[in-house]
Structure 1
Amino acid sequence: MCGIAGIYQLTEQSTPEHSILSRMNDSQWHRGPDAGDYFYQPTIGLAHRRLSIIDIAGSPQPMQSTNAQACIVFNGEIYNFAELRAELSALGHQFNTHGDTETILNAWLEWGPACVQHLRGMFAFAIWDKTQQCLFLARDRLGIKPLFYSLLDNGDFIFGSELKVLRHHPDFKHNLRHSAIEDYFTFGYVPEPHTIYQHSYKLSPGHTLLLKHGSARLPEPEQYWDLPTQWDTALSSDALQQQLIDRLREAVKIRLVAEVPLGAFLSGGVDSSAVVAMMAGLQSEPVNTCSIGFDNPKYNETEFARQVAARYNTAHQENIVGENDFDLLDKLADLYDEPYADSSAIPTYRVCEMARRSVTVALSGDGADELFAGYRRYKLHMHEQRLRNMLPLALRKPLFGVLGKLYPKLDWAPRFLRAKTTFQSLALDTVAGYHNSIAILRDDQRSALYSDEFKRKLKGYNSIEVFRRHAAKAAELDPLKITQYLDMKTYLVGDILTKVDRASMAHSLEVRVPFLDHKFVEWAFTAESEANLQHGVGKLGLKKALEPHLPHDVLYRQKMGFAVPLTQWFRGPLKQQLTDKVLSDTMLNSGYFNAAELKRLVSDHCSGRKDNSAALWSLLMFAAFLQRSPS
């Protein structure tokens, strides 16, 4: 795994300044501590930081083609590179290395922008073609590897693996994007293709960008892949169970190629346990597994991880983290570069830190919940959807709209009495209802939080537009599949994969994701919704297929997740820090917030009247970002 960076002078003919590109590249040293180098020609400068995984002795980057026509910087792994190498060799291309980087380079020379269609893996790369005087950027289909870019006022196009790379260019503009703030307080992250900054972007998953010298403006990225939204025959429950193990095993197998120590995360949940079970059947030596536990039983899954480790005789490591492990608060803001409000980033950082002591590559179970409908919110959404199907919107909107406004927020009450969000969602259509249900702060809460001045700057923008944009491409799917599609376009890439990439690369650890193999995804996403969610049980087809491989307790226990005790933290050891940061002059004078609402959120939570922990964590992370962001 690596870090890439570059400067392309779209309107000038000079060579980019080394001191600037060096500063940009050094900011991502953690992504590739093994080596780093540069490539310069008139108009272009490319930089690379390398974490050596395959062909350790060779494959230096930036890498030029044998005919010196093209040069590449690449972050990721191409799992079918051996097959592609043979195909390209037969077509007359020469190879001087034994890794996957040169395979991409020759694929570009043979197929041009269509080279991405031949790649199976996770990747973000940039290719400079001297003959065509163009720069080609690409990101993998699911967004496992990140890629940021910006066009500066002087006509320079800059890019990098992390947002901090762009921020280290002296001409980078730090103006905040108002719509991104609205998106952040809804989702807890800034969804693709935007960043928190007005003039920078993320290249969306499954997209490429082709820039040619002399262009005065950025072209629109081209989409080369999407989740299937139409299929002739849906994958039945029986077919899903019969084929799943073979397909998952193959996706795991191709991810076991490495010249460095390799292992897996083992949380004790279904998904990571499935990956470990497949690995154990594919290698003769014990699988290296690692788990993070908590000294609070409410958040501790190590008992189940131990069951799987014992069953497959893994080389298991376990680390128990104290309940009050919140020393990473300030580090998180530096790690993620823009506001990011998933508190499970803390245990994720810790498990990556532990794994790196024994391995350089770790496999994870990420992506299975989105692909097989494993989240509890899918079950709740489908309960609501049955009511939507019974009553037309013309009746639901006034009835549940009034109930949603009048019903109190009963955080202290039993779950079945906490109906405010449900009533609000039932007054809306499927997409808007799901948007309301998953929001950290719902529409009414965000309206109360924002200052009048900031509302004017938003000019009527609402984060529902993110969902509407994606849902328009999934209109033919059933309601459950639509929500899965939305999550794979937003939550998976913006939250889950972002969390894992930054936390793992902070420790120079590569994480591979078998469930997000695009061939496996294309097959699994066509499964009948009833094969995934039935009788309130999510991931049912996956679980049934895994019954011969995993303990019943692991498969069918209640999903726990990587949670931290925010509610208690904010009423105890973090109470003063919360108050100091959320009610700081930086926040109160930012112009974004209604000061009275900020104070009420803090007061109501700390007094025990309401549980505002999710909203307060998002505010705390935003405050940490503002304190570090240049004015």
Structure 2
Amino acid sequence: MCGITGIFDTQGKREIDCKVLTRMNESQHHRGPDEGGLHVEAGIGLGHRRLSIIDLSTGQQPLYNEDQSVCVVFNGEIYNYQQLIPELQALGHVFHTRSDTEVIVHAWEAWGEDCVKRFRGMFAFALWDRNHQTLFLARDRLGVKPLYYALLQDGTFLFGSELKSVLAHGGLPREIDPCAVEEYFALGYVAEPRSIFKAAKKLPPAHTLTIRRGQAMPFPVEYWDVRFSLDAKLTDNEACHQLEERLNESIRLRMISEVPLGAFLSGGVDSSAVVAMMAGLSAEPVNTCSIAFSDPAYNEAEFAKIVANRYRTNHHVEMVQSDDFDLIDTLAGLYDEPYADSSAIPTYRVCQLARKHVTVALSGDGGDETFGGYRRYRLHLLEEKMRSAMPLGLRRPLFGALGHWYPKANWAPRVFRGKTTFEALARNSVEAYFHTMSLIREPMRSKLYSNAFKSELGGYSAIQVFQYHAERANTDDPLALIQYIDTHTYLVGDINTKVDRASMAHSLEVREPLMDHHLIEWLATLPSSMKMRGGESKFLLKKAMEPHLPKDIMYRPKMGFAVPLDRWFRGPLRQRVRDTLLDGRIVDSGMFNPAIIHQILEQHESRARDHSTPIWTLLMFDAFLRCVMDGQESREVRVLENATI
């Protein structure tokens, strides 16, 4: 795992300032503390920070082809590189290293822009072809690895693994995009392809960007997408057998490493399945890492211990105190953009623990999206049955009125929250799912924003993100539709972002075997009844894992990786929250209605409502304004580097 960055003159061959390029590169030192390298020539500069995983002795970057006319900087892993090397050698290419990075330059020479279609892995890379005066950028299919870019007014093109490296150039205007703010307060993250700044973008997953000097700036090009055909004709037993084979293959590929390797083990189905398969593929005990919480309501450590004991892993556990809330500014400095998933705190801690013992860790991330594991999926399907019984033209006014007047009952299980159910039934499928996924729902967002900010939004709503992906999903199946939406939104913007920044903060590489695109393509051919059956989520995965895992692990209620925000904001963080949100940077921004913020705090402290999620979302936005907008991110990064190196 590494960090990449660069500067490209799209119009001519102006000299690259090596001091600026070095500053951009060193801003990502935490991503690659082992080595750093630059390539500079007329009008182009590439930077790389290396975390050594494969080919430790000769895998330095930037890396070149035989005559050094093609140069690449690369973040990630190409898992099938050993299969591609002989194919490229047969075409006449000569290899000077044993690294997966060198496969990229020769694959570009052999197949051009289509080279990415041959790669199986997680990656973001930038390749310079001097003979064709072309800069080629690519990002992996599921967006595991990040890539930001910006075109400045003078024709200078910037890119980097993290937004901080682009900001380190000094020429990027820090003008906030109001639409990105709306997406953040609705979803908890800024959805691809936006960034929080108007002048910068994220390269979307499964896209490439080919820039030729002297030509107009092109649009990114998509090279892959998942299609839910749901047409496989397999029995349950046949599907279980094939799934086990595919899991073994995906995990085996991700166990290739020249440095210590292990796995996260939360005690849930996904990470337990990964560890079980790893144990069968390894001659040595698997290294596993778990976080235990002092608050029993959030602690899954005993379930992780059951799996660790069964497979005799080298198990490492550390206790996280319930009041572990001192990471707010650190997280803001890591994520660069506002990011509101509070599970970033325990994720940061488990990565910190894992790095003490391994350099590479496998995770179970992606299992909920691909196997149909979220509780919200089951509830959405129940609502879909009710929605299908009445036309939208009747449902919208009837249930809209009931939802408006019915009292809110946050304290009750969702199935008994009449207001929530009525609001869902008054909407179409995409509107309802967006409503479910919104951290702060539309009525509250509208009240929270100031009139001046709403004017800047110009009517934009984050639901347009979901509508865009729903139109491309090419399926009417209710479960497949929301799986498709999640794969392009929540998985990329929330899960992968969280894990990448938290792991890279500790120079830890995390690999996600449940996001292997071959596995995802196969699962998309299976009928939804193999993912959700009789109200049981992840039906196929659990059925396939029955010989390998105790039923107590697989068929217990899902806990999640949560922190006690509600208690924090009524207790130890109460005054800090008040000082921050009522008289801080967030008020000075002019984007919000102070009276509504005050009302939110009063209702939460009095226990009239649980507003812990909106409060956390506001806190993290305030941290972004202080740490990034006010230029403190470089200080935060230096503090973090000193703590982790």
TM-score by length of 1: 0.98
Instruction: State the alpha-carbon separation in 1 of the partners of residues 141 and 348 from structure 2.
Output: 25
Contact kept in structure 2, 1:192 and 1:203, CA below 8 Å: yes
- In structure 1, the partner of 2:186 is 186
Instruction: State the alpha-carbon separation in 2 of the partners of residues 566 and 235 from structure 1.
Output: 44
Please give the per-residue CA displacement for 1:527-584, whole angstroms capped at 9, x wherever unaligned. 2111111121110111011000001110000000100000000000011111111223
Contact kept in structure 1, 2:36 and 2:49, CA below 8 Å: yes
Contact kept in structure 1, 2:230 and 2:528, CA below 8 Å: no
Instruction: State the alpha-carbon separation in 1 of the partners of residues 414 and 473 from structure 2.
Output: 32
- In structure 1, the partner of 2:134 is 134
- In structure 2, the partner of 1:516 is 515
1:66 correspondence with 2:51? no
The alpha carbon displacement at 1:475 in A equals 3.5
Distance 1:180 1:627, change over 3 A: same
Q: Which amino acid aligns with 1:30?
A: H
Q: Which structure 1 residue ranges, 5 or more long, are not aligned? A: none
Distance 1:416 1:100, change over 3 A: closer
Instruction: State the alpha-carbon separation in 1 of the partners of residues 627 and 266 from structure 2.
Output: 33
Contact kept in structure 2, 1:15 and 1:45, CA below 8 Å: no
Q: Which amino acid aligns with 1:587?
A: I
**What secondary structure does 2:131 align onto?**
coil
Q: How does 1:482-631 map to 2 (within 5 A)?
A: 482-630=481-629
**What secondary structure does 1:145 align onto?**
coil
**What secondary structure does 2:211 align onto?**
strand
Q: How does 1:355-434 map to 2 (within 5 A)?
A: 355-413=354-412, 415-434=414-433
Contact kept in structure 1, 2:185 and 2:617, CA below 8 Å: yes
- In structure 1, the partner of 2:88 is 88
Instruction: State the alpha-carbon separation in 1 of the partners of residues 234 and 2 from structure 2.
Output: 37
- In structure 1, the partner of 2:641 is none
Q: Which amino acid aligns with 2:296?
A: P
Instruction: State the alpha-carbon separation in 2 of the partners of residues 283 and 437 from structure 1.
Output: 41
- In structure 1, the partner of 2:635 is none
Q: Which moved more, 1:70-79 or 1:403-412?
A: 403-412
Contact kept in structure 2, 1:266 and 1:291, CA below 8 Å: yes
Instruction: State the alpha-carbon separation in 1 of the partners of residues 142 and 603 from structure 2.
Output: 40
Identity of aligned residues (%): 55
Distance 1:601 1:333, change over 3 A: same
RMSD of equivalent CA atoms: 1.1
- In structure 2, the partner of 1:467 is 466
Instruction: State the alpha-carbon separation in 2 of the partners of residues 343 and 169 from structure 1.
Output: 30
- In structure 1, the partner of 2:280 is 281
Contact kept in structure 2, 1:240 and 1:524, CA below 8 Å: no
Contact kept in structure 1, 2:425 and 2:432, CA below 8 Å: yes
**What secondary structure does 1:352 align onto?**
helix
Contact kept in structure 2, 1:237 and 1:530, CA below 8 Å: no
Contact kept in structure 2, 1:467 and 1:486, CA below 8 Å: yes
Contact kept in structure 2, 1:245 and 1:545, CA below 8 Å: yes
Please give the per-residue CA displacement for 1:494-535, whole angstroms capped at 9, x wherever unaligned. 000100000000000000000011101100122211111112
- In structure 1, the partner of 2:638 is none
1:304 correspondence with 2:306? no
**What secondary structure does 1:281 align onto?**
helix
Distance 1:199 1:258, change over 3 A: same
Please give the per-residue CA displacement for 1:275-312, whole angstroms capped at 9, x wherever unaligned. 00000000110000010010111100011101000000
Instruction: State the alpha-carbon separation in 1 of the partners of residues 333 and 143 from structure 2.
Output: 21
Instruction: State the alpha-carbon separation in 2 of the partners of residues 114 and 417 from structure 1.
Output: 51
Q: Which structure 2 residue ranges, 5 or more long, are not aligned? A: 631-645
**What secondary structure does 2:472 align onto?**
coil
- In structure 2, the partner of 1:42 is 42
- In structure 1, the partner of 2:150 is 150
Q: Which moved more, 1:529-538 or 1:80-89?
A: 529-538
Instruction: State the alpha-carbon separation in 1 of the partners of residues 223 and 193 from structure 2.
Output: 15
- In structure 1, the partner of 2:265 is 266
Q: Which amino acid aligns with 1:194?
A: R
Contact kept in structure 2, 1:352 and 1:507, CA below 8 Å: yes
- In structure 2, the partner of 1:6 is 6
Contact kept in structure 2, 1:178 and 1:457, CA below 8 Å: yes
Contact kept in structure 2, 1:237 and 1:528, CA below 8 Å: no
- In structure 1, the partner of 2:160 is 160
Instruction: State the alpha-carbon separation in 2 of the partners of residues 324 and 375 from structure 1.
Output: 27
Contact kept in structure 2, 1:25 and 1:49, CA below 8 Å: yes
The alpha carbon displacement at 1:421 in A equals 2.3
Instruction: State the alpha-carbon separation in 1 of the partners of residues 39 and 490 from structure 2.
Output: 36
Please give the per-residue CA displacement for 1:139-186, whole angstroms capped at 9, x wherever unaligned. 000011000000111110000000111111111110001101111011
Instruction: State the alpha-carbon separation in 1 of the partners of residues 228 and 65 from structure 2.
Output: 38
Instruction: State the alpha-carbon separation in 1 of the partners of residues 419 and 555 from structure 2.
Output: 29
Contact kept in structure 1, 2:124 and 2:137, CA below 8 Å: yes
Contact kept in structure 2, 1:2 and 1:32, CA below 8 Å: yes
1:246 correspondence with 2:252? no
Instruction: State the alpha-carbon separation in 1 of the partners of residues 584 and 561 from structure 2.
Output: 33
The alpha carbon displacement at 1:12 in A equals 2.6
Instruction: State the alpha-carbon separation in 1 of the partners of residues 414 and 108 from structure 2.
Output: 55
Contact kept in structure 1, 2:333 and 2:628, CA below 8 Å: no
Q: Which amino acid aligns with 1:548?
A: P
- In structure 2, the partner of 1:335 is 334
Instruction: State the alpha-carbon separation in 1 of the partners of residues 235 and 427 from structure 2.
Output: 31
Contact kept in structure 2, 1:581 and 1:624, CA below 8 Å: no
The alpha carbon displacement at 1:236 in A equals 5.3
**What secondary structure does 2:205 align onto?**
coil
Instruction: State the alpha-carbon separation in 2 of the partners of residues 421 and 232 from structure 1.
Output: 34
- In structure 2, the partner of 1:24 is 24
Please give the per-residue CA displacement for 1:560-612, whole angstroms capped at 9, x wherever unaligned. 01000000000000111111112234212212111111110111101211100
**What secondary structure does 1:629 align onto?**
helix
Instruction: State the alpha-carbon separation in 2 of the partners of residues 105 and 477 from structure 1.
Output: 41
